[in-house]
Structure 1
Amino acid sequence: MNYTLDFAPVIEGLPNLLAACLGTFTLAICGMILAVIIGIGGVVLRQSTLAPVRWLVIGFVELIRNTPFLVQIFFIYFALPLIGVRLDPTPTAIIALGINGGAYAIEIIRGGVQSISKGQMEAGLALGLHKAQVFRLIILKPALRAIFPSLTSQFVLLTLTTSIASAISAYELTSVSQRIESDSFRSFEVYFTVTVFYLVISWLMMRLFAFFSARYFAYPVK
């Protein structure tokens, strides 16, 4: 079977694809920020003295980790309007990414927090710091330093998960590429190009995380 490559539709749609890459970055970064907020908040609540609060966090983590992301994003976009909560595709994708990433972040950050010795916590309390100050000043940064590689790997995966947002027509790379493919029927050329774009996006994300690691989480040189 002979197949003649024709990248003309891809070249013609390149401005739209590049703009869609920015849309993918936007979804990923916003989703990561929300995931970190949920992750840190979940860890704090997970340590609550109130058992129902701890069970609520555990239930949330298990629910999100054991259901498909596609079902989660469909629930937010199609089911919530039935109770009056209507969101556009982009906010829906950001919230779904944040919730999904946050569930994994809770467990990753909790592992980092548990790696900090109780002696450091007790020393902070002995110095007169409040529990919130001990958590923020003594526990959180060393914990993030310890789990930063695992957390960044999860966030790179979250970046690639943005492609599922095409199912609700959110403005991102896969959604735009599907439109170009449906207009041109050049599936190989379109998805080959998109594959390269996702490789570049993942590489840029890893370089960004490496910068933050060196800037904020590197051990001081003695």
Structure 2
Amino acid sequence: MNYVLDFTPVIDGLPDLLAGCLGTFLLALGGMLLAIIIGIGGVVLRDSRFPACRWAVKAFVELIRNTPFLVQIFFIYFALPLAGLRLDPTPTAIIALGINGGAYAIEIIRGGVQSISKGQIEAGLALGLHRALVFRLIVLKPALRAVFPSLASQFVMLTLTTSVASAISAYELTSVAQRIESETFRSFEVFGTITLMYLVISWMMMAFFSLISARYFSYPVK
């Protein structure tokens, strides 16, 4: 094998690759925010007194967790326009990531909610607190504290899943790398470099979630 490494295309394309990293972070952030909203809303509806709401959430979770993410993003990007809903690649990617992450967030958060004793909830209601306030202060915050490590791990995975958005040409790291590779044919150098970049992104996300955990979800050290 006489292959000679040449990282010149990678060095020349480094500004574009760093911009692609920023695109990855923005997709991940948008997807995570939407996933949190879907997760919390889904937990509320999952335990609703209305059977239709409970079954709708169950069906949503089963559908999303048991179908490939690539199929989901293709459905939103290619199938929905046939129904009159056409989205650009970036909004499509954010919505698909949010829906996918939200299905997992529902089950993770619900597990934390179920760990809260009914006595605490009844005590809050007995003190005259509104049900919404009881849910926010007595149920949701302790539940998020309990499941935050699992939720953080899921969101790190969601960040790496942004690479699939390159299939619809959303602007993120993998799509930039594919363009550079197609122009230079330096596959080993380009994809080897972004492998390391994704590793750094994962470390940065884990460090970020550790800071969030220490700031908002850890008991004070005495």
Is the TM value for this pair above 0.5?
A: yes
What corresponds to 2:123 in structure 1? 123
What corresponds to 2:90 in structure 1? 90
Q: TM-score, normalised by structure 1?
A: 0.99
What corresponds to 2:161 in structure 1? 161
Flag as ranges the 4+ runs of structure 1 deviating above 2 A. none
What corresponds to 2:140 in structure 1? 140
d(CA) in 2 for partners of 1:80 and 1:196? 35
What is the percent sequence identity of the aligned residues? 80
SS in 2 for 1:170: coil
Letter in 1 for 2:128: G
d(CA) in 1 for partners of 2:130 and 2:62? 31
Distance apart, 1:99 and its partner CA: 0.2
d(CA) in 1 for partners of 2:59 and 2:220? 39
Distance apart, 1:189 and its partner CA: 0.2
Letter in 1 for 2:218: A
d(CA) in 2 for partners of 1:219 and 1:38? 27
Distance apart, 1:131 and its partner CA: 1.4
d(CA) in 2 for partners of 1:221 and 1:149? 19
Q: TM-score, normalised by structure 2?
A: 0.99
Unmatched 5+ residue regions in structure 2? none
The answer to whether the aligner puts 1:2 opposite 2:2 as a matched pair is yes
Aligned length: 222
d(CA) in 1 for partners of 2:75 and 2:187? 30
SS in 2 for 1:18: helix
d(CA) in 1 for partners of 2:131 and 2:106? 19
Q: Deviations over 1:49-93 (max 9, x none)?
A: 010110000000000000000000000000000011010000000
d(CA) in 1 for partners of 2:129 and 2:63? 35
Letter in 2 for 1:209: F
Letter in 1 for 2:102: G
Letter in 2 for 1:71: V
SS in 1 for 2:86: coil
d(CA) in 2 for partners of 1:208 and 1:27? 16
What corresponds to 2:19 in structure 1? 19
Letter in 1 for 2:90: T
d(CA) in 2 for partners of 1:141 and 1:17? 38
